């Protein structure tokens, strides 16, 4: 595949980016549309609140549990092959979810769809990071990619409302159509990028041990929302997951071709980026779940009204590819991410004022603040988590990042539900429900605050080198990765742009 230059992108490279961004847009919109449809699904299938959150967490368990295996499979078997194969699986099981007549059928369909996303997403990220040279071209592509995922979620809220008005099953059928279009475009456009000759083996035993650990971790987190009933089961699942993770780590120390190479874990800022991603996702998914219940079950809003109310969060569609690169260039990746999380902190805190007759105008600052948070956090996290990682490890690095995002979603939903249930207790009535939701909003508030602390004090940006850039206002110090973002600003697309050398790997 042709490598884009720092200043222009060929028509083919643009087409490839559209396909890959379309895939993450599909994943984001799929989750968002389902979230808006949850109350309608509960009514039709007769689900409890815990079973309802299980519709979301079943997907998260599959997604988070298989993400690292998916990243390794992309590195070993080929990114294009894995992307196409699992896009087909995603298409099939998303459609099957629309035919569910029992809760368990929907849970199974969502679990397998999550597994498909667990293989599809790291393949897509690694196709970007191995197809665009590290630096300006890759950073720009990653920010656009992150914006596409956030836009999919934001716009999916509105689409979910429209589709649920027709029938909740359409929130499962619509992704089938999108996936079919992407598949038709991906087959001729995507090519397998060159690699550095270190693909190695999948390592079935290690992969299965790690996957079992991840699934048990995700499952244990979902049980925490019913800690008063299933506390021992949750602790047991988490302890067993930890034991399997220890077994995996000990085996990796002796493995000639480890699943996660030691060098990857030493990448600057990798751990801080992944912990921050977990807290960021946990804050948003927990808040969005609570907000959907507040608007539809306490306020009586329709799914369409709920989706339109959240449309302002789509600010990230405009801000991510325009404002975020400029801010990262000037202030650095970590400061921009921290600033975005603090915007989320303000947004969540403002929602604590919610009452039973709150006007929509009072909600606007929260929705706008969340839009800013997405714009300043989602794309830059991808830069922080993959910067300086060798090409042969990009699939696993992408898998680590998305595993963190999915585990964060599971933790956020489970923690928010657990606090809500505990705060409600045996009380009944709208006022009691509202007080319980207010108490549960404390979960996303704590998460974004911790995330801002972690990314601020975490690992240094890639290379740690500082250079002086003399401007009219004086010398400005910036890291190598920050300087490279100068070329991330929007530029003209050249339809006949020449191919250039493959992206260097380390």
pLDDT at 440: 94
The helix (H) or strand (E) run that includes residue 474 is strand 474-479
451, 340: one domain: yes
Q: Tokens representing 168?
A: 């909740």
Are 494 and 10 in contact by the 8 Å Cβ rule? The answer is yes
pLDDT digits (tens, 9 = 90+) for 107-142: 999 999 999 998 998 888 888 877 777 777 777 787
DSSP string, 399-455: HHHHHHHHHHHHHHHHHHHHHHHHHHTT--SHHHHHHHHHHHTHHHHHHHHHHHHHH
Are 246 and 239 in contact by the 8 Å Cβ rule? The answer is no
Cα atoms in the Cβ-side hemisphere of radius 13 Å centred on 248: 23
Structural domain contains residue 389: yes
Rounded Cα distance, 475 and 481, in Å: 17
pLDDT at 395: 64
pLDDT at 251: 83
Q: Tokens representing 218?
A: 């995700």
Rounded Cα distance, 388 and 373, in Å: 25
Q: From first to last of the 506 residues of the chain, give the pLDDT tens digit.
A: 444 444 466 787 788 899 999 999 998 888 888 888 888 898 898 887 667 777 877 887 788 778 778 877 888 888 899 999 999 999 999 999 999 988 889 999 999 999 999 899 888 888 887 777 777 777 778 778 877 877 787 788 788 888 988 899 999 999 999 999 999 999 998 888 766 555 556 666 777 887 788 778 877 876 776 767 777 888 898 899 999 989 988 887 777 777 777 667 677 678 889 999 999 999 998 998 899 889 988 898 888 888 888 877 777 666 766 787 788 888 888 899 999 999 999 999 999 998 888 888 999 999 999 988 988 898 788 888 877 777 667 667 777 887 788 788 878 888 888 888 888 877 788 899 999 999 999 999 999 999 999 999 875 544 443 333 333 333 322 333 333 333 333 333 333 333 333 333 33
398, 334: one domain: yes
Q: Which residues pair with 475 in a beta bridge?
A: 470
Structural domain contains residue 16: yes
Q: Tokens representing 418?
A: 């657990």
| Angle, alpha carbons 125-408-459 (nearest 5°) | 70
Domain finish residue from 166, 191, 216: 191
pLDDT digits (tens, 9 = 90+) for 24-64: 999 888 888 888 888 889 889 888 766 777 787 788 778 87
171, 216: one domain: no
Structural domain contains residue 3: no
Structural domain contains residue 196: no
pLDDT at 472: 33
Q: Which residues pair with 478 in a beta bridge?
A: 467
185, 212: one domain: no
Count structural domains, the chain: 3
Q: Which of helix, strand or coil describes residue 478? A: strand
234, 371: one domain: no
Range of the structural domain that residue 18 is part of: 11-191
> Mapped to the 3 state alphabet, what secondary structure does 37-93 carry?
HHHHHHHHHCCCHHHHHHHHHHHHHHHHHHHHHHHHHHHHHCHHHHHHHHHHHHHHH
313, 443: one domain: yes
249, 354: one domain: no
* Alpha-carbon distance values, 208 to 58, 67, 82, 244, 398 (Å): 19, 12, 18, 10, 19
Structural domain contains residue 504: no
Burial zone of 15 (CB within 10 Å; 0-12 exposed, 13-18 middle, 19+ buried): middle
pLDDT at 224: 72
Q: Indicate if the alpha-carbon torsion angle 482, 483, 484, 487 is positive or negative.
A: positive
Q: Rg for the chain (alpha carbons), in Å?
A: 22
pLDDT at 243: 95
Burial zone of 281 (CB within 10 Å; 0-12 exposed, 13-18 middle, 19+ buried): buried
pTM of the model: 0.72
pLDDT at 506: 35
231, 181: one domain: no
pLDDT at 198: 54
229, 177: one domain: no
* Alpha-carbon distance values, 313 to 8, 147, 371, 375, 440 (Å): 30, 12, 4, 9, 21
Q: Tokens representing 468?
A: 């002086």
168, 250: one domain: no
Rounded to a whole number of angstroms, the distance between the first and last alpha carbons of the chain is 19
275, 252: one domain: no
| Of 476, 72, 434, nearest in space to 252 by CA | 72
Torsional class of 268: left (φ above 0), alpha (ψ -120 to 50), beta (otherwise): beta
Give per-residue burial for 72-82: e unless 16+ CB within 10 Å, then b. bbbbbebbbeb
Q: What is the CATH number of the domain that holds 295?
A: 1.20.1250.20
> Mapped to the 3 state alphabet, what secondary structure does 455-469 carry?
HHHCCCCCCCCEEEE
Are 93 and 63 in contact by the 8 Å Cβ rule? The answer is no
């Amino acid at each position: 595949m042709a490598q884009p230059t720092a200043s222009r992108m060929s028509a083919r490279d643009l087409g490839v980016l559209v396909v890959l961004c379309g895939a993450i847009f599909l994943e984001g919109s799929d989750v968002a549309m389902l979230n808006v449809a949850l109350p309608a699904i509960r009514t039709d299938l007769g689900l409890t609140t815990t079973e309802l959150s299980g519709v979301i967490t079943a997907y998260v368990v599959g997604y988070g549990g298989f993400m690292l295996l998916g990243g390794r499979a992309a590195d070993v078997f080929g990114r294009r092959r894995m992307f196409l194969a699992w896009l087909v699986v995603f298409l099939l099981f998303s459609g099957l979810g629309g035919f569910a007549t029992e809760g368990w059928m929907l849970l199974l369909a969502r679990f397998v769809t999550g597994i498909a996303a667990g293989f599809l997403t790291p393949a897509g990220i690694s196709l970007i990071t191995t197809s665009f040279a590290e630096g300006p071209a890759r950073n720009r592509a990653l920010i656009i990619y992150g914006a596409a995922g956030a836009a999919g979620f934001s716009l999916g809220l509105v689409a979910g409302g429209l589709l649920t008005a027709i029938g909740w099953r359409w929130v499962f059928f619509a992704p089938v159509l999108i996936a079919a279009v992407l598949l038709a475009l991906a087959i001729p456009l995507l090519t397998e990028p060159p690699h550095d000759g270190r693909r190695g083996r999948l390592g079935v035993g290690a992969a299965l041990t790690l996957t079992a650990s991840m699934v048990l971790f995700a499952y244990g987190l979902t049980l925490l929302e019913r800690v008063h009933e299933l506390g021992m089961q949750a602790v047991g699942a988490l302890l067993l997951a930890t034991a399997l993770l220890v077994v995996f780590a000990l085996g990796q120390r002796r493995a000639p071709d480890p699943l996660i190479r030691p060098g990857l874990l030493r990448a600057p800022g990798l751990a801080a980026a992944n912990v921050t991603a977990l807290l960021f996702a946990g804050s948003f998914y927990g808040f969005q779940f609570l907000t959907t219940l507040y608007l539809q079950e306490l306020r009586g809003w329709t799914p369409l009204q709920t989706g339109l109310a959240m449309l302002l969060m789509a600010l990230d569609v405009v801000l991510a590819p325009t404002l975020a690169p400029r801010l990262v260039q000037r202030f650095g990746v970590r400061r921009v991410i921290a600033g975005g999380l603090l915007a989320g902190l303000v947004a969540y805190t403002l929602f604590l004022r919610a009452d039973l007759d709150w006007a929509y105008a009072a909600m606007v600052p929260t929705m706008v603040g969340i839009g800013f948070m997405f714009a300043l956090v989602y794309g830059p996290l991808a830069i922080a988590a993959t910067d300086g990682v060798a090409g042969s490890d990009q699939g696993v690095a992408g898998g680590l990042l998305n595993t963190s995002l999915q585990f964060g979603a599971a933790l956020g939903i489970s923690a928010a539900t657990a606090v809500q249930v505990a705060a409600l207790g045996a009380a009944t009535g709208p006022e009691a429900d509202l007080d319980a939701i207010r108490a549960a909003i404390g979960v996303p508030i704590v998460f974004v605050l911790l995330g801002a602390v972690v990314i601020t004090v975490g690992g240094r940006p890639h290379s740690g080198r500082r250079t002086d850039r003399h401007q009219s206002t004086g010398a400005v110090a910036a890291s190598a990765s920050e300087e490279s973002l100068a070329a991330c600003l929007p530029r003209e697309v050249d339809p006949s742009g020449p191919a250039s050398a493959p992206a260097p790997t380390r």
